[in-house]
């Protein structure tokens, strides 16, 4: 992921690092290259504009301040702005004082909701928690079975009721309390595209379990469409964070760099493969550092 952007930015950084002096003309040239690199990485144009404006401001400041190493200051500005675009700080989970902590998973069909529900359950287990998975995706015939299979692999129980998704969510919450499970993860139905019926169902499920966290799973490979999806979901549900899935298949990284600025919510977790352990908390600063090489 970010392969091209990383290559391009590394080249730019090499050119300006260690330069004793930077002129405004140098800054203009560097900014042109950064802008092109970001646009080619499929970053949302509004995001490109604001990121570039802020880097430029720092860069011009560096040319005027007669700083020892102005090139280094520009590199730092690029690093800071990438970190900011990627969400700023790592989202840390605050557990509900009265368990269970409820997590609602939303997203389009095929985005990786079911897989990532299990991955997240496994992550919570590694934090010493005892999750319960709820299969409230009754739309896709195999979804609950898939969740049961994944749950068995990580030794996490799965609750579902074939009757009704909202009832399933509600009863799942009761089941978690009864069994003393301290985290509840509710997988919901997706559709191929946003539609009113789907939004209403997930809104009702949300109302039934009153989630502490609502995570939107988006497929990184869908680029700017993913950002539009995020905007649409955020209008209906209060999204707390994004789970960016299929980051392993996305060489450009445009969705990851755009989503925070567009919906104002950070990427909480990154999914980087089909295997259940290919999942990690998302650290914007580390990712920015990796992009810059």
Q: State yes or no: 247 annotated in a binding site.
A: yes
Q: Which of 225, 273, 281, 285 binds ligand GDP (CB under 6 A)?
A: 273
Confirm if 101 and 134 have CB atoms less than 8 A apart.
no
* Cα 169 from Cα 1, distance rounded (Å): 35
| 286 annotated as a binding-site residue | no
193 annotated as belonging to a binding site for a ligand = no
Residue choice 73, 111, 160, 214 for contact with ligand GDP (CB under 6 A): 111
Task: Say whether residue 73 binds ligand GDP (CB under 6 A).
Answer: no
Instruction: Name the residue nearer to ligand GDP (CB basis): 113 or 181.
Output: 113
Contact flag: residue 260 with ligand GDP (CB under 6 A): no
What DSSP state is assigned to residue 130? -
For ligand GDP, the closer CB: 125 or 140: 140
CA-CA distance, 43 to 39, in Å (whole number)? 5
Does position 110 interact with ligand GDP (CB under 6 A)? The reply is: yes
Determine which residue in the list 57, 64, 274, 290 makes contact with ligand GDP, applying CB under 6 A.
274
Q: Are 69 and 40 in contact (CB under 8 A)?
A: no
Is residue 92 exposed (0-12), middle (13-18) or buried (19+ Cβ within 10 Å)? exposed
Distances (CA, A) of 86 to 204, 284, 286, 287: 31, 5, 10, 8
CA 266/CA 93 separation, integer angstroms: 13
Contacts (CB under 6 A) with ligand GDP, residues 176-235 = 190
Residue 246 in the binding site for ligand GDP (CB under 6 A)? yes
Instruction: Give min distance, CB of 192 to ligand GDP, in A.
Output: 10
| 253 contacts ligand GDP (rule: CB under 6 A) | no
> Would you state the structure tokens that stand for residue 45, as one six-digit string?
């144009």
Stretch that binds ligand GDP, among 16-24, 70-78, 206-214, 243-251 (CB under 6 A): 243-251
Q: Which residues are annotated as a binding site?
A: 107-114, 187-191, 245-248
């Amino acid at each position: 992921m970010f392969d091209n952007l990383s290559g391009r930015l590394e080249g730019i950084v090499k050119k300006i690092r260690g330069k004793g002096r930077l002129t405004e003309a140098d800054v203009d040239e560097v900014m042109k290259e950064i802008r092109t690199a970001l646009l080619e990485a499929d970053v949302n144009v509004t995001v490109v504009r604001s990121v570039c404006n802020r880097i430029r401001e720092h860069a011009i400041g560096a040319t005027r301040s007669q700083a020892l190493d102005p090139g280094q200051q520009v590199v730092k500005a690029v690093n800071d702005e990438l970190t900011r675009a990627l969400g700023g700080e790592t989202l840390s989970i605050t557990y509900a004082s009265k368990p269970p902590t409820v997590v609602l998973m939303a997203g389009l069909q095929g985005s990786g909701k079911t897989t990532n529900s299990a991955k997240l359950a496994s992550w919570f287990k590694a934090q010493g928690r005892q999750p319960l998975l709820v299969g409230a995706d009754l739309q896709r015939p195999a979804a609950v079975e898939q969740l049961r299979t994944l749950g068995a692999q990580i030794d996490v129980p799965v609750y579902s009721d074939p009757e009704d998704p909202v009832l399933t969510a509600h009863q799942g919450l009761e089941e978690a309390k009864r069994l003393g499970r301290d985290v509840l993860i509710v997988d919901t139905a997706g559709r191929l595209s946003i539609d009113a019926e789907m939004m209403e169902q997930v809104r009702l499920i949300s109302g039934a379990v009153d989630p502490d966290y609502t995570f939107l799973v988006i497929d990184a490979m869908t680029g700017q469409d993913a950002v539009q999806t995020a905007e649409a979901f955020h209008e209906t549900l209060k999204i707390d964070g994004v789970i960016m899935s299929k980051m392993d298949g996305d060489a450009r990284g445009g969705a990851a760099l755009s989503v925070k600025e567009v919906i104002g919510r950070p990427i909480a977790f990154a999914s980087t493969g089909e295997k259940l352990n290919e999942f990690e908390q998302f650290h914007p600063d580390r990712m920015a550092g990796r992009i810059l090489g």
